[in-house]
Amino acid sequence: MLAVIGGFITLIVGIIFLFGGKIISGLPIYMWDDFLVFLKGMVSSGLVLGGILAIIAGLSAIRDRAKTEGKK
């Protein structure tokens, strides 16, 4: 129960940090633009790392298939 309450508090604080100036006028905290820059960087990095992981997995599958066919 304590974890759920902590989760709600964290959610509210996160929303205030993201949209602070838009929700409560005069609040100097507004991180939406910074969040978008971070998100753009993470999406592109995630795609690159995911592509590398897919290539490694594909090469491993090809190697395993070649090993099993070589044993037959």
What is the per-residue pLDDT for 71? 77
Q: Which of 13, 34, 39 is nearest to 24 (CA)?
A: 13
Q: Identify the sign of the CA torsion 53, 58, 62, 64.
A: positive
63 and 36 in a common domain = yes
Please check whether residues 53 and 19 belong to one and the same domain.
no
What total number of domains does the chain contain? Answer: 2
* 49-55-59 Cα angle (round to 5): 145
Identify whether residues 26 and 45 lie together within a single domain.
no
Which residues constitute the domain of residue 36? 32-72
Instruction: Find how far residue 24's CA is from the centre of its chain.
Output: 28
Could you read off the pLDDT tens digit of each residue along the chain, which spans 72 residues?
A: 888 899 989 998 888 877 776 666 666 677 778 888 888 889 989 999 999 999 999 999 999 999 888 776
pTM greater than the 0.85 cutoff = no
Q: How many CA atoms lie within 13 A of 34 on its CB side?
A: 7
Q: What is the pLDDT of residue 26?
A: 67
User: Given this model, what pLDDT does residue 58 score?
Assistant: 92
**Residue 67 sits in the same domain as residue 45:** yes
